Chain A
């Protein structure tokens, strides 16, 4: 789950990482109130999860309430690369002496935490990595050891952070690492991490991505869930607890397992069709899950045919078949189904479907993935 900047800053604040005084606003009046509270001058920043906000005119400096009114009015509702701005973050403007970059992630290859630290901040780190890779310090941290203060200080020195900022940067690194580990982040990034003329080091931006598997131990994440931007289909799927991602094609996809679902998308594409969605019903899919999945797919007006691709491991073919039969009784499907059922209890499942008296115009069964994909794509044309 990716957080908005303002949520990231609120999350950072929990770990004592210094951020600017500010507040989030959804209206111009709220923005002015936030600015009055933060103290002028302020920066009004569009809250969208896409890069290049500044260039698009989504970040503006305001010296008084009138300027906040103008900028917040312009930015709220602005379209930045397809993302409509619903909120602005208004914060006290900082004087900047220098800009750095700091981030922690889990490096899947090395199976350790990775610190990236650079004195060249404020620009895309990918750009720095390409033009001047030597300017980025990359340090692996063993999760068993963690990041002691001395190691953080050494990292700041090794990254050639100027002496005046070294201690401040090191302090923030220790806190940011704690945020990653205890806060269960996939990514915790500060860009830019600034040095003020007064000598303080401070997070001017926040990019945080949370590991949804850890949600059970973070009740404080509930408020972040509320702002996740989903389309109507994705909202319905979430209500039903399904792993769903909306796409633009015409073949609705239901599969068990993320790998098989991805593979189903690929095969549909390979035979000249396009998938309307990714939907993984997971293991042990019963009638309720199947009915829910079909309901979500049915809510997508673009869907012309539905390809159900099931390979039974934990999931049992007879249960899936039972689910489809029940679901057809509950949901009035607009599109025909093509099903491929294999693995555990597949033969029993196929019998259930055959004996259910479903007309062939509504459901066809194919024995391989490729044949089923071809049939589903033909129906979608």
Chain B
């Protein structure tokens, strides 16, 4: 078991013929992911190292039976690409595109909710998802993810920050702790998939025994997750929140992590998670060590 994607997931890549799409699409395939097709309007009938390319998602889905899509197209085209995939029957969409206007994200998200309620969007501006040994969609370097064991204990990872997602995977690898699934939800204002969506799945997944959550300053997603954890998550958790020393009113990077009006501080988020019974580390390594302690208690 894993959450959202596994060895049976068939994936198309929207933008496979572009630089990023080709690099990561082929890397995902080399990892063992079932990358069954690419989509680039006007390039139908060609192929990328043996992967057939179609003009539309609908054609690709019809030919391959794919249920997931990896969207790696520029910001201007991303919203249309996501909606095209949803319209063609894809049910799991991973969008790594960085720099999509917030208004576009809001409209796309709410269109999905209304017209395609069964479709899950992961991202935009996220590193993607990896169920180690089974499926890797996105830009994560597969080799840094520790394979889960049949017996466990295995850890699920959910993270709002790209590089800190890799950091979390790496910490667990150093400790030899297996990962069931690692989900990077991305730090944009309107993420398709939230902490809570992932926590709910991890709680239900028999292969996941503990959960690491990586958050950052800005917004209130971590506080909402803490409320959810208190009421619904019985599996042990550790967490880390980036940005304790970030000055208020300054936007930290593209993703829009910002402390404004005294809201969204790292301290507030850490306090909320602690109150929900989560062990909170002061840096990613400490969150890893805390998880090692949890795992030692489980095995």
- Is B163 within 8 A of A313, CB to CB? yes
The residues in A between 267 and 281 inclusive whose CB is less than 8 angstroms from any CB of B are 267-270, 275, 278, 280
Chain A residues positioned under 8 Å from B282 (CB to CB): 266, 270
Would you give the 0/1 interface string for B93-123, flagging 1 where the beta carbon is closer than 8 Å to chain A?
0000001111100110111001000000000
Bound Cα distance A314, B163 (Å): 9
Shortest beta-carbon distance, A266 to chain B, in Å?
A: 5
Bound Cα distance A276, B279 (Å): 30
Chain B residues positioned under 8 Å from A106 (CB to CB): 102-103, 106, 189-190
Bound Cα distance A108, B102 (Å): 10
- Is A258 within 8 A of B253, CB to CB? yes
- Is A313 within 8 A of B219, CB to CB? no
Most chain A C-beta atoms within 10 Å of own C-beta, residue among B221, B240, B244, B257: B244
Would you give the 0/1 interface string for A168-198, flagging 1 where the beta carbon is closer than 8 Å to chain B?
0000000000001100101000000000000
From A109, A213, A262, give the contact of B246 (CB < 8 A): A262
Shortest beta-carbon distance, A140 to chain B, in Å?
A: 11
Total chain A interface residues with beta-carbon distance under 8 A = 52
Bound Cα distance A255, B251 (Å): 16
Shortest beta-carbon distance, B26 to chain A, in Å?
A: 14
- Is B252 within 8 A of A213, CB to CB? no
B76 contacts partner chain A, Cβ-Cβ < 8 Å = yes
Shortest beta-carbon distance, A141 to chain B, in Å?
A: 10
Chain A residues positioned under 8 Å from B189 (CB to CB): 106, 108
Name the CB-closest residue of A to B251: A245
- Is A262 within 8 A of B190, CB to CB? no
Bound Cα distance A269, B266 (Å): 14
Shortest beta-carbon distance, A243 to chain B, in Å?
A: 5
Chain A residues positioned under 8 Å from B224 (CB to CB): 109
Bound Cα distance A143, B261 (Å): 25
Interface residue range, chain B: 35 or more
Bound Cα distance A213, B242 (Å): 23
A142 contacts partner chain B, Cβ-Cβ < 8 Å = yes
Chain B residues positioned under 8 Å from A245 (CB to CB): 247, 250-252
A100 contacts partner chain B, Cβ-Cβ < 8 Å = no
Chain B residues positioned under 8 Å from A261 (CB to CB): 252-253
From A181, A280, A343, A368, give the contact of B166 (CB < 8 A): A343
Would you give the 0/1 interface string for A251-263, flagging 1 where the beta carbon is closer than 8 Å to chain B?
0000111111111
- Is A108 within 8 A of B220, CB to CB? yes
Segment among B45-53, B55-63, B136-144 that sits at the interface with chain A: B136-144
B255 contacts partner chain A, Cβ-Cβ < 8 Å = yes
Chain A residues positioned under 8 Å from B101 (CB to CB): 184, 211, 213-214, 217
Chain A residues positioned under 8 Å from B167 (CB to CB): 260, 263, 311, 369
A113 contacts partner chain B, Cβ-Cβ < 8 Å = yes
A226 contacts partner chain B, Cβ-Cβ < 8 Å = no
From A111, A257, A265, A270, give the contact of B163 (CB < 8 A): A257
From A143, A243, A255, A257, give the contact of B106 (CB < 8 A): A143
Bound Cα distance A255, B253 (Å): 11
Q: State whether A142 and B187 are in contact (beta carbons under 8 Å apart), knowing that A211-B102, A262-B216, A263-B283 are contacts in the complex.
A: no
A336 contacts partner chain B, Cβ-Cβ < 8 Å = no
Would you give the 0/1 interface string for B242-273, flagging 1 where the beta carbon is closer than 8 Å to chain A?
11111100111111010001000010000000
Would you give the 0/1 interface string for A194-219, flagging 1 where the beta carbon is closer than 8 Å to chain B?
00000000000000000101101100
Chain A residues positioned under 8 Å from B166 (CB to CB): 311-313, 343
Name the CB-closest residue of B to A373: B283
- Is A269 within 8 A of B163, CB to CB? no
Shortest beta-carbon distance, A114 to chain B, in Å?
A: 11
Name the CB-closest residue of B to A270: B282
B285 contacts partner chain A, Cβ-Cβ < 8 Å = yes
The residues in A between 328 and 370 inclusive whose CB is less than 8 angstroms from any CB of B are 342-344, 368-370
Chain B residues positioned under 8 Å from A275 (CB to CB): 245
Chain A residues positioned under 8 Å from B251 (CB to CB): 245
Shortest beta-carbon distance, B74 to chain A, in Å?
A: 10
B160 contacts partner chain A, Cβ-Cβ < 8 Å = yes
Bound Cα distance A304, B283 (Å): 23
B237 contacts partner chain A, Cβ-Cβ < 8 Å = no
Would you give the 0/1 interface string for A264-298, flagging 1 where the beta carbon is closer than 8 Å to chain B?
01111110000100101011000000000000000
Shortest beta-carbon distance, A210 to chain B, in Å?
A: 10
Most chain B C-beta atoms within 10 Å of own C-beta, residue among A106, A144, A255: A144
Chain B residues positioned under 8 Å from A53 (CB to CB): none
Q: State whether A263 and B164 are in contact (beta carbons under 8 Å apart), knowing that A109-B224, A216-B76, A311-B170 are contacts in the complex.
A: yes
Bound Cα distance A280, B187 (Å): 14
From B106, B114, B214, give the contact of A259 (CB < 8 A): B214
Chain A residues positioned under 8 Å from B221 (CB to CB): 108-109
Bound Cα distance A251, B99 (Å): 29
From B20, B75, B127, B220, give the contact of A313 (CB < 8 A): B127
Q: State whether A262 and B257 are in contact (beta carbons under 8 Å apart), knowing that A245-B252, A256-B163, A313-B141 are contacts in the complex.
A: yes
Name the CB-closest residue of A to B23: A314
Bound Cα distance A313, B143 (Å): 11
Name the CB-closest residue of A to B104: A214
- Is A213 within 8 A of B161, CB to CB? no
Chain B residues positioned under 8 Å from A247 (CB to CB): 247
- Is B163 within 8 A of A259, CB to CB? yes
Chain B residues positioned under 8 Å from A370 (CB to CB): 283, 285
Residues of B at the A interface (CB closer than 8 Å) are 20, 75-76, 99-103, 106-107, 109-111, 114, 127, 139-141, 144, 159-164, 166-167, 170, 187, 189-190, 214, 216-217, 219-221, 224, 240, 242-247, 250-255, 257, 261, 266, 282-285
Q: List 6 A-B contacts (CB under 8 A).
A: A109-B221, A257-B161, A259-B159, A262-B161, A263-B164, A263-B243
